[in-house]
Structure 1
Amino acid sequence: MLDTGSDLIWTQCQPCLSCTNQSFPLYDPSQSATYSPLPCSSKLCQALPQSACHAQCLYLYDYLDNSFTVGTLASEAFTFGSANNVTVPNLGFGCGFQNQGNFNGIAGFGRGPLSLISQLGVGKFGYCFISYDDDDSKSSALMLGSAASLNGSSTNIQSTPFVTNTSQPTYYYLSLDGITVGTTRLPIPRSAFALQQNGTGGVFIDSGTSFTLLTTVAYELVRSAFLSQVKLPVANGTAEGFDLCFSLPSSPSAKVDVPKLIFHLEGADMDLPRDNYMLQDSTMGLMCLAMFDSGSEISIIGNFQQQNMHIVYDLDDQKLSFAPAQCDQL
């Protein structure tokens, strides 16, 4: 998984004490001539938030959803590209022998020294996520360096600056000024999204978080706006894991009107298509708001809201650019 909300690159390794099931063989370091454990004195080992030294650098790396990986920090040669392969030697990564969570590996694209983007030293990267309901024959796109450019891909390119948070240097913070539902800009206080001087609060974009999370005051206003503007019966979506759901009309041809949703960022409006915030399950007869209360001072723009959007992280110019796109055709 590509994760802009973390730094470590890791994969599951043999011998494994506890690993998530995967459809392909575990990476076996004993079969690689280019694998090398990193010493505890290495800069990458010292950059780990939690580590231990037993002749080599051991790590514990955990995530906001309580998943984690434990293993050996090592270096390996990585090959990139689908047509013209490029091999980069000596990239630091985690060889995980005890892992808990839903993933068999993560490519950290955060702003810290351990991340893939930092180790490669490229000043720009981008991605374009296909729709959640697309089949396995389609794939999302990842672009590095000059290939990440949005030039010519759309006339709807918008950009917003990154916001620096020295207390949480990994995350890509943005300035979210407000939210519109339908034609109404909601009366969300600016403090709901403000990054505080002590590093708490704020809003960041994260490719590794599924659904957008908003602070309680912001979420309740968004939820209330959809409740009042969607003219469908409210349904219980607890079994599906959602907070706000509506019952769809029994006739498949019946028109369902859904209000627009716009995130007002500094200098840019992220005008989301309906499929990026309403999850429709025709078999269950439900349509659910794909957004939740974060239960904290932090708000996160998740990957469901980023479907079919070409997004570029420009680290040189310190800005995020985005434009609508048909991601399976990039």
Structure 2
Amino acid sequence: MNDKTLPIDTVGPPTPVLSVAPVVLPAPDRAVDLQVRVSAPVTGGDLPVILLSHGQGYSHHLSSLDGYAPLAGYWAAHGFVVIQPTHLSSTTLRLDPGTPGAPLYWRSRAEDMRRVLDGLDLIEDAVPQLRGRLDRSRVAVAGHSMGGHTASLLLGARLTDPDDGAEVTLADPRIRAGVLLAAPGRGGDALTPAVAEGLPFLLTTDFSTMTTPTLVVAGDQDESTHLTVRGAQWHTDPYLLAPGRKSLLTLFGAEHGLGGISGYDVAETTDENPERVAAVQRLTWAYLRSELYPGDRAWQAACDALAAGPDPLGRVDSK
């Protein structure tokens, strides 16, 4: 066994997965209807749900329902139903740059996830293999990069709308836990001047109200110099500045792609590392499993396995 691989017995064996896309949710108040991918184990009932929000990278299709196969496939093979929307920010939609909310559609992204939860009946109708198999009381949200910002809003973070100065609260009480992967940190003087001017919604991010249990995953080499002047530490802000039960997984040597979570063998991954991806898969799964099922020891077992090796891939801190 590779010393940098978590032992496989921290999780059960994978099961076959069904994946259906696009499932279309009517959205008359949106620029286009909402398309999602649904991935689930082919067997089992009372399945918990993960909403997975894509980032905004260079590749066209990773920023859509077609991205993040390393995470969606793994989570589904180990007992979750994973629902991935194509947000309006996806270049696959080729929207007019003048569409309200462009270019990143920060508010619409969070509303997409709430629309998914409101439309679970429609999803079950479109994917009859799922009918009656969802546990709607156990819902989590996860997001990478800009998707992490989306997830943080659903978990309770707030901001001030730069267009009208109103405080925006988009938390959804149906979401019981979250995972933020290389998510943006605080605003203000932590941002580069270009980002502060071009993406002013990031200026006022407030984590002090993000009370939902959350795992923050950050690479210690994720400098993100196009976004922040604070270096890799910026991505730990959602852990450091949010109250309540939080955990931080710091991945040693990891850059923004966290080893390659957005897709298999993709060119934009600058730190490709299969063992790192495997660690992210297993630790995020274990965290959500234990948060959604109190008393489940998967998270503790995964943390113990991470710390046990002679050359660990990372470190977990909790508060």
Q: TM-score normalized by structure 1?
A: 0.27
Structure of larger gyration radius: 1
Answer 1 or 2: which has greater helix percent: 2
Q: Which has the higher contact order (CA 8 A, sep 6+)?
A: 1
